[in-house]
Structure 1
Amino acid sequence: MRDILSVLQKIEPELSKSERVLASLLRSAPEFILDAGITDVAQRAGVSPPTVTRFCRRLGCDSFTAFKVQVAQVAFAGTRYLTANATSAAPTDVADSLLAQIQEASAGTRENLDMAAVLRAVDLIATARLVATFGSGGTSSMIADEMQNRFFRLGLRTVSVTDHAMQLMQAATMKHGDVIVASSVSGRNLQMVRALEAAKTYGASVIALTRPGRPVADQADITIGIDLAEGNNILRPSLSRHGFLFVTDLLATLVAMKRGDEARESLRRVKYQLSNSRDSDDKEALGD
């Protein structure tokens, strides 16, 4: 799919003065262009309709109508990516703002947490024959790997799967007593949905960490809802990560408590091997 903003960036040095005004309008007000006719756009930019037509053709669009189709894609991606954020760039202000937002994300997740769903998930995970953690993309993949890192050391057979094809293949091997913990920030990962559908046909249980009411949640036996507003600062990493990490740590802690002596012995073995190879301080973290 053509990205007209990338095309514009390449040809901008060659544009006329009038075309540069139209380029500025495209970046600042794509929603206006979507609702306007060619005459309206020309009047707002202070140019003639033929100039608008020439500008559209410079961007590879045969007509103003075709141009508006491309503008719709720009608007769908979000205008917040087109302008600089107005927040302070002072490092101390950025640090304080990030800390406050991380705390808010964790607190907001806790406030809206369905603890009954969490406890049902803990019961499934603690007694699972196999735990497969699914995630695809930035935050979701990271959470899948982190869950695998937390659960295996409790003596649980665990695998992290972050590739769509591998998720489908893993799903095909699962059976009753196996559990998938699927993480999806958007809840709209349709390839993951297909894998979850397949796993359920073979008897596996599905726990979803995602937005309630979305396709991923619809496939879950248990949904732990995580729905955090991201805000408009696109330069700041996603705040949803902290909500997902909070739930991951909560599940890991409660599963460890549920497994009791079995988890404690598994952790002791891990620490014993690490102590004999490199760790001399018993109070250091278990692993790196």
Structure 2
Amino acid sequence: MLSLISEALDSLNRSERKVADVILADPQAATRSSIAVLARTAEVSEPTVNRFCKRFNAKGFPDFKLTLAQSLVGGVPYVNRHVEPDDTAESYTPKIIDATIAGLVYAKEKLSPATVNLAVDQLIQAKQIFFYGLGASGPVAQDAQHKFFRFNIPVNAYDDVLMQRMVAASCSTGDVVVTISYTGRTKDTVEIAELAQASGATVIGITAPNSPLAERCSIVLGVDAPEDTDVYMPMTSRIVHLSVIDILATGVTLRRGPGFLNHLKSIKDSLKSTRYQRETDES
């Protein structure tokens, strides 16, 4: 990306050249800046920054920052792509948090609200819901069960291949299987999605667009975090998937209407006796 910007300097107008100079002077700072901060530093308008980003095949500033960040760091294999071997806690802590924020912003731009509505439509009327996840996606499936049991719909989460396969085979029309996979290339997951569909279930995929798993799903919530989990530990992708589960749970809650809030409140109230009360400051 830095090479592309450098090569394009002569073709940029005066305002775009200011943006380029700021980025080339400190590309790491640019990956952490908001569009407002970068525009102020370059003494240009925010639309000018967006136009600059689009010149380099980015959809906007968040997409540009993501590409820039990817071009700056190779990362330590099996740890995190943004971490370098000599990083200290002072450097790798903000790197990981910044990478997670960038991944969430990227997912926000890519996730289709129309597709979210379709998924909520199926979940709200499901006879029963099954969440499937293997490996790092297993805890995401468990988190989904923790949220969705509140909706008075039978729900289970499975992270075992054999259980997933048997439950998929026992599904019928009206059942919903939500399968979670960052890569969408795990053979067992793809086969199980096919089995669930053949049994009559609606299969919702939280996975990479255009992946083998996406092709076997009835509805695809396409989220593609900038993370190569073949080389690096799944981090950003797992947070993005947890956020998608939160989005679906929120959608179902809102569809249930205001009257349903009393039910959710009663569940929360059941925990009060299990907790110590907060200490009040008398001073």
With normalisation by structure 1, the TM-score equals 0.63
Residue 119 of structure 1 aligns with an amino acid whose one-letter code is N
What's the CA shift for 1:240?
A: 0.8
What's the CA shift for 1:271?
A: 1.7
What is the RMSD computed on CA atoms of the aligned residues? 2.7
Q: Is the partner of 1:92 in helix, strand or coil?
A: helix
TM alignment of 1:1-288, pairs within 5 A: 80=77, 86=84, 88-138=86-136, 140-230=137-227, 237-261=234-258, 263-278=260-275
Q: Is the partner of 1:256 in helix, strand or coil?
A: helix
Q: Is contact 1:143–1:244 with CA below 8 Å preserved after alignment?
A: yes
Which structure has the larger Rg?
Answer: 1
Q: Is the partner of 2:120 in helix, strand or coil?
A: helix
Q: Is the partner of 2:225 in helix, strand or coil?
A: coil
Residue 103 of structure 1 aligns with an amino acid whose one-letter code is I
Task: Provide the rounded CA distance (Å) in 1 between the counterparts of 2:234 and 2:199.
Answer: 37
Tell me the number of residue pairs that the alignment of Structure 1 and Structure 2 aligns.
201
Residue 149 of structure 1 aligns with an amino acid whose one-letter code is H
4+ residue runs over 6 A deviation = none
Residue 101 of structure 1 aligns with an amino acid whose one-letter code is A
What's the CA shift for 1:150?
A: 1.1
CA deviation string 1:20-40 (max 9, x = no partner): xxxxxxxxxxxxxxxxxxxxx
Task: Provide the rounded CA distance (Å) in 2 between the counterparts of 1:129 and 1:279.
Answer: 38
Q: What percentage of residue pairs aligned between the two structures are identical? A: 31
CA deviation string 1:228-283 (max 9, x = no partner): 22269x676521112112211111111111122464243123123212444657xx
Q: Is contact 2:77–2:232 with CA below 8 Å preserved after alignment?
A: no
Residue 258 of structure 1 aligns with an amino acid whose one-letter code is R
Distance 1:262 1:134, change over 3 A: farther
Task: Provide the rounded CA distance (Å) in 2 between the counterparts of 1:263 and 1:120.
Answer: 21
Distance 1:237 1:202, change over 3 A: closer
Q: Is contact 2:130–2:177 with CA below 8 Å preserved after alignment?
A: yes
Task: Provide the rounded CA distance (Å) in 2 between the counterparts of 1:90 and 1:258.
Answer: 47
What's the CA shift for 1:163?
A: 0.6
Task: Provide the rounded CA distance (Å) in 1 between the counterparts of 2:166 and 2:234.
Answer: 31
Task: Provide the rounded CA distance (Å) in 2 between the counterparts of 1:262 and 1:207.
Answer: 27
Q: Is contact 2:104–2:240 with CA below 8 Å preserved after alignment?
A: yes
Q: Is the partner of 1:183 in helix, strand or coil?
A: strand
With normalisation by structure 2, the TM-score equals 0.64
Task: Provide the rounded CA distance (Å) in 2 between the counterparts of 1:212 and 1:236.
Answer: 20
Residue 167 of structure 1 aligns with an amino acid whose one-letter code is Q
Residue 92 of structure 1 aligns with an amino acid whose one-letter code is E
Residue 252 of structure 2 aligns with an amino acid whose one-letter code is V
